Amino acid sequence: MTISLLFGVHAHQPVGNFPAVIDDAHVRSYGMFLRVMERYPEFRFSVHFSGWLLDVLFERFPDDMARLAAMTRRGQVEWFGSGDCEPVLAAIPHRDRVTQIATLSDKIERRFGMRPRGAWLTERVWESSVVTALAETGIRYVAVDDYHFLCVGEDGARLDSFYSTEEDGRRLDLFPISEAARYRLPFSPAAEAVAWLEDLARQGQRASIYFDDIEKFGIWPETYEWVFEKGWLTQFVEGVLGSKLIRTETFADYHARENTRGIVYLPTTSYIEMNEWTLPAPRAAVYHALVAAEKAAGRFEAHKPFLRGGIWRNFMSRYPEANWMHKRMLGASQRMAALPTAQRSAAMQEQLHRAQANDAYWHGLFGGLYLPHLRRAVWNNLLALEAGLARLAPPAACEQGDLDLDGRSETALRNSRLQAFVRDDGHAALVELSSLALAHNFGDTLGAYAEAYHAKIDQAQAAQAGKTGEGIVSAHDRIAFLHAILPEDAAPDTRPRGIFLERLTPAGGALQPVDAYRAGEQPGGWIAAGADWQLEKAYRLDGDALGVSFRAAGKALPALIETELNLALPSCDGYGGRYVLADGSIPGGFGQTLELDGMRTLTLDDSELRGALQIAATQPVRLSARPHRTVSQSEAGFEKIMQAVCITLSWAPAAGLEQRITLRVLPAT
């Protein structure tokens, strides 16, 4: 009996990723993979490229895209669809699921002459609510992990073909991706992988279902040498084609000739590692201990379907920044949907789609929440969309509501140039300060959070632990350090990272946070009070400027008031970001510390921003600036990433004297 190898690869780059990263990915993976597979027309396989990446590749590597089109025409390649900009479909409205899927299907049909019947689910995030949009757009089957099936008690020995499910009477078929294949290809020697497939054939298995990231073929650490220089891919393809027990098929051909295994209803879940990453650090530690105990007892494989972590949407609960971005995106989608159809342009639709790209909303070994340039791409597109929406249906200049559903209201201040959102959480700081002209959110920073993997930081000497015998170590098991990192570098923040967070020193007392602001009578006004002092803070927009006034009163004025501004700028600690003094001199870059006495004006100049941000004070202040960095782990290792410039302004208040701090957006010079 022969076994069908259903072999699929998924290619994606986040919206807003650096061109050099995409070029490198193509040179080391996409292009190399296609050139190898082109030599073997009888090896049939399936591909999924996200739509945004396809657009970039057609522009930058047209010859390889022509090669892929030729392979499609000769029947070697089947195309899978999905959302055009790779959203997690479960996290966006039904109307946007439909437009995302249809946009990519149209693009594939136009460029490759094939309309997808299968779809890739971003990060294999499954919620049954996505079935209707997939079915409505002509998708007949998707591939999800075999783990999804095990979680509802399906027999692992029967996960060698597709099943069927339904939602609201709409059918969708489900292929279970083999975890064993995901971990074996391409990490074990090619001959062993082929022999493993042949053993499955001898056992009577119908199909071996593989669908995983193409980046494992050349981009993951050590894989370029292993897969291409040492010839793993060529050896594997030739081994499969030379076997009498294995035949390659597309999912489409297999689906057309086989019957479903039966009905199944899958739980809300993703792949097992993702479920782990969604857990906050303390609960993740408990989960890890439980998994370790089960492995030590030899029970893990039997019990793992019942040792589930969280779900993908937990990232909105774990990270307020992801939640804020997500709810702001949903609000923009609703505003666009409320427009008359004739007013909704293709450009607006694409901006919304790009703002829904999954990468910047989550974090694990992969995921881009910790990467400022990926969050910035979401904000760039979201704010460009909102600028267009404002021209058609201007929003209220001031409104209040709990936009992010965290139990605390936000006050939105808007004019035609700026948007400022103040959170009523006691700090009365800005959670967002956005320039519509620059399509940039200066409040787009990320706090320092405790992460379960921070426990590995003291294992620097064991970076290569676990690498034995032939093959290479999967990124899931690899420990490496891109920067020198100490445990204290990963200390979590004790306050949120906002713009205009105050601390003060009461007369004769110690510095303390101001965290009990209450709303004043005027919109944008806030009041904090102690036993014998009161501090008033008021926000006001004026064109391209945000003014924040402070006034202290009471029997005993604070000895010192300081306010902290966490400002996100595109260059971070790159060459393009620099401080400019009033006299035009440059004391340093954003990645350096800066101390100034008696400051009234400082400009933050950023060549990537296409503008600058000027800080001005009516009364002289002491300024202290430092980079805010977080510690995270990616497939390449532990790294420090600069999230924002943290600027502290301090002054001694005087009775009846107002201090006004102005942040003004300046055009590029």
pTM over 0.85: yes
Tell me how far CA of residue 255 lies from CA of 145, 172, 207, 243, in angstroms.
Answer: 17, 12, 11, 23
Kind and range of the H or E run holding 293: helix 281-296
Structure tokens at 439: 């399509």
Single-letter code of the amino acid located at 665: V
Q: What is the pLDDT of residue 508?
A: 78
**Residue 600: helix, strand or coil by DSSP?**
strand
Examine the pLDDT at 476 and tell me if it is beyond 60. Answer: no
Tokens of 190: 């090619």
CATH class belonging to 3-270 = alpha beta
- CA-nearest of 125, 444, 71 to 278 is 125
Top pLDDT among 365 and 81 is at 81
CA distance 616 to 663: 7
Question: How far is the C-alpha of 451 from the C-alpha of 648, rounded, in Å?
Answer: 27
DSSP 435-496: ETTTTEETT--------GGGGGGGGGGGTTTT--SSS---GGG---BSS---GGGGPPPSS-
Is 490-667 the same fold as 3-270? no
Q: Does position 347 have pLDDT exceeding 50, yes or no?
A: yes
Across 599-604, average pLDDT: 97
Class of domain 490-667: mainly beta
The single residue of 55, 106, 109, 213 carrying the catalytic annotation is 213
Question: What is the rounded average pLDDT of the residues 181-202?
Answer: 97
The number of beta carbons lying within 10 Å of the beta carbon of residue 560 is 16
Is residue 122's pLDDT more than 50?
yes
Q: How far apart are CA 284 and CA 551, in angstroms?
A: 45
What are the pLDDT digits (tens) for 274-283?
999 999 999 9
Say how far apart CA 280 and CA 284 lie, in whole Å.
6
The answer on pLDDT for 10 being more than 80 is yes
Nearest to 2 by CA among 179, 200, 196: 200
Q: Return the pLDDT at 479.
A: 59
As a whole number, mean pLDDT of residues 111-127 equals 97
Mean pLDDT (the chain) is: 94
HSE-CB for 19 with a 13 A CA cutoff: 5
Q: Which of 78, 84, 96, 123 is catalytic?
A: 123
CA distance 465 to 480: 10
Q: Which residue has the tokens 């201090």?
A: 659
Nearest CA among 404, 431, 409 for reference residue 420? 431
User: What is the structure's pLDDT at 471?
Assistant: 54
Q: Where are the domains of the chain?
A: 3-270, 271-310, 318-395, 490-667
With H, G, I as helix, E, B as strand and everything else as coil, classify residue 386. Answer: helix
Catalytic residue at 410? no
pLDDT at residue 552 tops 70: yes
Least confident of 269-283, 396-410, 536-550, 632-646: 632-646
- For range 657-663, the mean pLDDT: 96
CA dist., res. 429 & res. 517, Å (int): 10
Q: Is-catalytic flag, 84?
A: no
Residue-wise burial string across 376-400, b where 16 or more C-beta atoms lie within 10 A, e elsewhere: bbbbbbbbbbbbbbbeeeeeeeeee
The tens digit of pLDDT for each residue in 63-91 reads: 999 999 999 999 999 999 999 999 999 99
| Residue 128 scores a pLDDT above 50 | yes
Question: Above 60 in pLDDT, residue 432?
Answer: yes
